[in-house]
Amino acid sequence: MVDTAATSPRTRAGRRTWPVVALATMCSAFPVFLTGALGVQLTDDVGLSATQIGLVMGVSFTVAALMSAPMGRVAERLGPQRGFRTGIAISASSMLAIAGFGHSAGQFAVFLAVAGMGNALNQPSANLMLTTHIDADRLGFALATKQSGMPAAALLGGVAVPAIALTVGWEWAYVAGVSIAALAIALLPKDVGGRSGLNMTTNDAGERRSVRPDLGVGLLVLYATVGMLGATAAGAMVGFITSGAEASGLGPGLAGLVLSLGSFVGVVSRLVQGWQVDRLGILPIQRLVWLYGLGGLGVLLLALDVPAAYLVAPIPAFAFGWAWPGLFNLSVVRNNPSAPAAATGISQVGVFVGAALGPALGGVIIDNGSYQLLWLFSASTLLTGSALAVYLRTRIKASRANAAAT
């Protein structure tokens, strides 16, 4: 029997939920991406070296990785709206603190660590909000839109440099981020039907408790590993494709446009992939296999390390190699309907680890080898991720078969 009273508000809420969630997700990633975009200004005005900037950004992702699993359980208990509002408020507080008190590498590390905590809560809260507000046949596109907030944050960080940092000061770029975060908090929809989530149940005493993920920890760790491999390659591409293009012989202006082109292509591809999965009934894990594989081949083109390669290769590299996060989360959510926030909190650990490893390992490889070696390494992580996703798919099928037999 369908509860039409609950279905109707859920459908109405979904109409404005996904763009607000995308905006809020962008805010959660904005502190760390903005710090990277403002590297020149922070070096000139604060005295941070390039190494220090990379390290403080890595601190943010490391804290997010450590806090992701417990924050997923927190999101289950708080519910989507309270969890998301709390997380965005933490992100906004970190940006406000940087604007007012960011005068050393240590202070930036502390404030970006706080931002990492907010990001760790925002990601599972966002996934929970979408699963409780969006109809199942539109969830793929909604999650793809949400994940587009990450590259959008990178793009917005780049725009903030000439628009704000070079006119009124780098501090005001963070203040602008606080304003956007406040708008996102105000626009977040209420929980559908007054509930804190579809995944909540009660114990014998009538107290609410969160339900555990449907998949076992081993399968969720496999998901996290697949996500780590993809995020490592993506982090290396975002961090070094511009400098690699310039080192190959492209001019600074054209080299900068390489990342903008890749980010734009990545956003469009994420939306297309989500739409196709919804409309064509494609298994997200199956599409993930192909995206990793084709993305790896695209990154291999970068290993030619000639100017023409940097003008052509970013299209397949980003269109496939950075278009998977929405489908990744969709696969986790579909296989863990009882506790999507707790499940994605675990799988997101790998994504955060990869986001920190990509730039860190990339710098080491470049300093001790070459850009060509970096792209060969990045391609290998994507191709390995594709193979591991195939194995994960067979393990999930076997798990379902065993559950049905018992």
How crowded is residue 130: how many other Cβ atoms within 10 Å of its Cβ? 25
Please give the C-alpha separations between residue 169 and each of 30, 71, 93, 209, in angstroms, as whole numbers.
17, 34, 19, 47
> What crossing angle do the helices spanning 4-37 and 105-133 adopt, rounded to 10°?
160
Place of tokens 């000061």: 169
Give residue 50's identity as a one-letter amino acid code.
Answer: A
Task: Give the pLDDT of residue 158.
Answer: 65
Q: How many CA atoms lie within 13 A of 71 on its CB side?
A: 29
Closest by Cα among 64, 63, 58 to 357: 58
Q: Among 1.10.1270.20, 1.20.1250.20, 3.40.50.300, 3.40.50.150, name the CATH number for the domain at 214-406.
A: 1.20.1250.20
Q: From first to last of its 406 residues, what are the pLDDT tens digits of the chain?
A: 334 444 445 555 556 787 888 888 888 888 887 887 777 788 888 888 767 877 888 888 889 989 988 998 898 888 888 999 999 999 999 999 999 999 898 999 999 999 999 999 998 898 888 888 888 888 888 888 888 777 777 667 667 767 787 788 889 989 999 999 999 999 888 766 444 444 444 433 344 444 678 788 889 999 999 999 999 998 888 777 877 888 888 886 777 677 778 888 888 899 899 898 888 888 889 999 999 999 999 999 999 989 999 999 989 999 999 889 889 989 998 888 888 888 888 998 999 899 888 877 887 888 888 889 999 999 999 999 999 999 999 998 888 777 666 6
Question: Rounded to an integer, what distance in angstroms lies between the CA atom of residue 301 and that of residue 313?
Answer: 6
Task: Give the pLDDT of residue 387.
Answer: 96
Task: Give the pLDDT of residue 197.
Answer: 43
Question: Rounded to an integer, what distance in angstroms lies between the CA atom of residue 200 and that of residue 128?
Answer: 11
pLDDT (tens digit per residue) in 344-368: 889 989 998 998 888 778 878 888 8
What is the three-state SS of 253-292?
HHHHHHHHHHHHHHHHHHHHHHHHHHHHCCCHHHHHHHHH
Which token pair is 41? 């200004």
Q: Among 1.20.1250.20, 3.50.50.60, 3.40.50.300, 3.90.340.10, name the CATH number for the domain at 15-190.
A: 1.20.1250.20
Task: Give the pLDDT of residue 39.
Answer: 73
Please give the C-alpha separations between residue 383 and each of 222, 288, 377, in angstroms, as whole numbers.
15, 11, 10
Domain ranges of the chain: 15-190, 214-406
Question: Rounded to an integer, what distance in angstroms lies between the CA atom of residue 161 and that of residue 150?
Answer: 18
Place of tokens 């690699």: 244
* Terminal Cα-to-Cα distance of the chain (whole angstroms): 26
Task: Give the pLDDT of residue 194.
Answer: 43
Which token pair is 170? 């780098």
Task: Give the pLDDT of residue 7.
Answer: 46
Task: Give the pLDDT of residue 15.
Answer: 61
pLDDT (tens digit per residue) in 21-68: 888 888 888 888 788 777 778 888 888 876 787 788 888 888 998 998
Question: Rounded to an integer, what distance in angstroms lies between the CA atom of residue 144 and that of residue 14?
Answer: 14
